[in-house]
Amino acid sequence: MSFPSTNKNKAQEKVLESSHSLIASAKKVIKYRKHLLDANALASINLQISMVENSIRAKDFANLEGQSNSLSRLLKQHGGDIAPETFLGENMEALFVAILLAIAIRTFFIQSFQIPTNSMAPTYYGMTCKLVNSEATAAGIWTKVWHKIKFCSREVNVVAENRGTVSIPLSKAKLKKNNDVIYVVPYEEVFIKKYLGLVKAKVRKYTIFVDRRRYQIISPIDLSLDKILLERFCRGYSSWEEVIAGGKFDQNFGQDERISILHTKYPIAVGDSIIRFEILSGDMLFVDKVSFHFRPPKVGESVVFTTNAIEPFAKAPKFFIKRLVGKPTNILNIENNQLFMDGKLVTTTNGILEKINSKAEGYENGYCPAEMLAEGLSVTVPEKNLFVLGDNSKDSYDSRFWGFVPEKSICGRPFIIFYPFTNRWGKCK
């Protein structure tokens, strides 16, 4: 049997490895603490190093372990912060270099970015939510786990503690895009603690009622729950304006005419899910921050930019993603839901603008005329500026409404969707 011999060899290898490490630490102590040690301490350390080295050369394992222990005791006595080395001390330099490298990569080469809204759908998707159906509820545990991993989803379930009918507050709001007045479910912006209380995140807090009892629903700051509440309690309607115009529900106004309570007559029993839905993560991208240092962005490319020089967002800058449709001196206009540049339909190498112009599947709305590009209007892109539009033109707040993007605000181009694992995973369009 060779096992005892093998075990003995492994033990000797460990002793050798430990001894070599101690010698390296001892020499580092002498190098960096020589001016702090007295002659006796230096002599003792040098003598012990010699003894350990002699035992290693002679393969005297019987004495090597004891001599290494003696050297270790000397280092504990005289090594200060240099020796004995802890994991953190031993690897601090490597950790520091790794942190610097990560910062450099993020600053100059690659940055991750999560799509916040659906202004670029169906090319890229922001956060969405959908009601949890009975089939999803009945699925096995591993199916549910894989679904959460694949789509980066999380579930929200608000359970009733009393019986009654659901009422929803509504308020009048003006759209930023065109100043149309619409009804929306009001919400508060509040901060919650995440990740064991280490991080504060701003979220939306909605309030609905079962009879007079309040229930709160929390969603990410960029995710509106209007559509999911409509689908749950007013199925068949596409907007609160339609609900109100239909006249099937009671609507009570308080002292403020801008706020009303819509009584849906939807019955809820104790223990029922008032609303149960899952939140699906927006596409997560890696942004290439290098390419545009060597060439300018091309018309038709999607670009990521900061809003720090764009008036509506300058006080609280964000990162946006839109598609570049106009460069300096280009003249743009929209006719029949098609985008024209310098009097001609836009053509690009990747074909996305052509798909939108032709109202291909997923882009059925084409380009919607509004504000700067309203019917009959055209715009000339000034020097050192760009014009950007969302692929989902109907629901995109873009250059039509807030103007041009300074060239200096462009951060890079998205090049890989790395999560979640949908059919959009892979190279960006």
Confidence of residue 49 (pLDDT cuts 50, 70, 90): confident
In the predicted model, is pLDDT for residue 176 greater than 60? no
Confidence of residue 143 (pLDDT cuts 50, 70, 90): confident
Average pLDDT over residues 321-332: 95
In the predicted model, is pLDDT for residue 206 greater than 80? yes
Instruction: Identify the residue with better confidence: 179 or 344.
Output: 344
Please report the pLDDT score of residue 1 as a whole number.
37
Please report the pLDDT score of residue 218 as a whole number.
94
Average pLDDT over residues 227-249: 90
Average pLDDT over residues 25-29: 80
In the predicted model, is pLDDT for residue 257 greater than 80? no
The Cα angle at residue 230 between residues 224 and 231, in degrees rounded to 5? 105
In the predicted model, is pLDDT for residue 35 greater than 70? yes
Domain residue limits, the chain: 3-78, 128-280, 284-427
Confidence of residue 107 (pLDDT cuts 50, 70, 90): low
In the predicted model, is pLDDT for residue 86 greater than 50? no
Average pLDDT over residues 24-51: 81
What single-letter amino acid sits at 70? Answer: S
Average pLDDT over residues 215-236: 92
Please report the pLDDT score of residue 116 as a whole number.
82
In the predicted model, is pLDDT for residue 318 greater than 60? yes
| Annotation: CATH topology of 284-427 | Umud Fragment, subunit A (2.10.109)
Please report the pLDDT score of residue 34 as a whole number.
76
Asked if 374 contacts 177 with a C-beta cutoff of 8 angstroms, the reply is: no
Average pLDDT over residues 36-51: 83
Confidence of residue 377 (pLDDT cuts 50, 70, 90): very high
Instruction: Identify the residue with better confidence: 304 or 18.
Output: 304
Please report the pLDDT score of residue 52 as a whole number.
83
In the predicted model, is pLDDT for residue 254 greater than 50? yes
Percent of the chain past pLDDT 90, that is, above it, reads: 41
Confidence of residue 54 (pLDDT cuts 50, 70, 90): confident
Confidence of residue 255 (pLDDT cuts 50, 70, 90): low
Percent of the chain past pLDDT 70, that is, above it, reads: 88
Q: Which has the minimum average pLDDT: 50-64, 99-113, 127-141, 375-389? A: 99-113
